[in-house]
Amino acid sequence: MHDVVNAIALQRNTDTRHWFHYPREGGLRSSTMAEVDARATAVALRLRELGIGRRDRVGIMARNSFEWVLLDIAVLKLGAVTAGFEPGRFDPEEVVRDFGLSVLFTDSADGDGRVFFDIAVIADWAGDGVECEPLHTGYDGADICAIKFTSGSTGMPKGLEATVASVNSALAATQDMFAHGDGDNLLVFLGNWFLQQRYWIYSALVFGHDVTLASVDDVLDVAQLAAPTVIMGVPGFYEDVKTRIEATDVTPDTEVIQKWLGGRVRYLWTGSAPASRAVLEFFNHNGVPLYEGYGLNETCIVSKNHPGAFRLGSVGKVLPGKRVRFDRDGVLIVGSVHPINTRYTWSAPGVNEKTFLPTGEVKTYDVGYVDDDGFLFVQGRVDDVIALGTGYNVLAPMVEHLLREHPAVHECVLHGSGRQFLSAVVSPASPDVDVDDLRRFIGSMNGGLLAEQRVQAVVLAAERFSIENGMLTGQFKPRRKDIHARYAAELESIYTGTLPDDASPLVIEQVKEHE
pLDDT at 500: 56
pLDDT tens, position by position, 15-24: 999 999 999 9
Question: What's the maximum distance between 2 C-alpha atoms anywhere in the chain?
Answer: 79
Write the single-letter amino acid at 206. Answer: V
Say whether both 334 and 426 belong to one domain: no
pLDDT tens, position by position, 259-308: 999 999 999 999 887 888 889 999 999 999 999 999 999 999 999 999 99
Question: What's 427's domain CATH number?
Answer: 3.30.300.30
Neighbours of 12 (CB within 10 A): 12
Residue 238 inside a domain? The answer is no
User: Which residue range forms the structural domain that includes residue 374?
Assistant: 310-382
Residue 88 inside a domain? The answer is yes
Q: Which of 214, 234, 257 is the last residue of a domain?
A: 214
Q: Are the CB atoms for 307 and 317 separated by under 8 Å? A: no
Say whether both 375 and 397 belong to one domain: no
Among residues 361, 353, 343, 177, the alpha carbon closest in space to that of 269 is found at 177
Among residues 23, 46, 404, 362, the alpha carbon closest in space to that of 220 is found at 23
Write the single-letter amino acid at 453. Answer: Q
Say whether both 392 and 368 belong to one domain: no
Residue 266 inside a domain? The answer is no
Q: Are the CB atoms for 409 and 428 separated by under 8 Å? A: yes
pLDDT at 154: 43
Q: Sorting pLDDT into bands at 50, 70 and 90, what band is 499?
A: low
Say whether both 377 and 394 belong to one domain: no
Mean per-residue pLDDT for 100-119?
Answer: 92
Say whether both 49 and 157 belong to one domain: yes
pLDDT tens, position by position, 238-255: 988 998 999 898 999 999
In the predicted model, is pLDDT for residue 504 greater than 80?
Answer: no
Collect all residues with Cβ–Cβ distance below 8 Å to 244 and sequence separation of at least 6. Answer: 260
Say whether both 414 and 321 belong to one domain: no
Say whether both 408 and 464 belong to one domain: yes
Residue 495 inside a domain? The answer is yes
**Which string of DSSP letters, residue by residue, matches 37-104?**
HHHHHHHHHHHHHTT--TT-EEEEE--S-HHHHHHHHHHHHTT-EEEE--TTSS-HHHHHHHTT-SEE
Say whether both 57 and 97 belong to one domain: yes
Give the whole-angstrom CA distance, residue 403 versus residue 397: 10
Indicate left, alpha or beta for 424 from its phi (over 0: left) and psi (-120 to 50: alpha): beta
Evaluated on CA atoms 369, 479, 280, 194, the torsion sign reads negative
pLDDT at 112: 87
Give the whole-angstrom CA distance, residue 210 versus residue 19: 5
Question: What's 341's domain CATH number?
Answer: 2.30.38.10
pLDDT at 88: 85
**Range from 52-56, 160-164, 482-486 carrying the lowest mean pLDDT:** 482-486
In the predicted model, is pLDDT for residue 509 greater than 70?
Answer: no
Mean per-residue pLDDT for 41-70?
Answer: 98
Say whether both 324 and 395 belong to one domain: no
Q: Sorting pLDDT into bands at 50, 70 and 90, what band is 153?
A: very low
The number of domains in the chain is 3
Say whether both 358 and 393 belong to one domain: no
**H/E segment holding residue 148:** strand 144-149
Question: What's 173's domain CATH number?
Answer: 3.40.50.12780
In the predicted model, is pLDDT for residue 322 greater than 70?
Answer: yes
Of 135 and 235, more confident: 135
pLDDT at 205: 98
Say whether both 193 and 333 belong to one domain: no
pLDDT at 332: 95
The mean predicted confidence, pLDDT, of the chain is 91
Residue 350 inside a domain? The answer is yes
Q: Which of 330, 364, 382 is the last residue of a domain?
A: 382
Say whether both 16 and 161 belong to one domain: yes
Among residues 241, 236, 305, 229, the alpha carbon closest in space to that of 267 is found at 229
pLDDT tens, position by position, 380-430: 777 777 878 777 778 888 899 899 999 989 999 999 888 889 999 999 988
pLDDT tens, position by position, 169-222: 999 999 999 999 999 999 999 999 999 999 999 999 999 999 999 998 999 999
Q: Which of 382, 401, 431 is the last residue of a domain?
A: 382
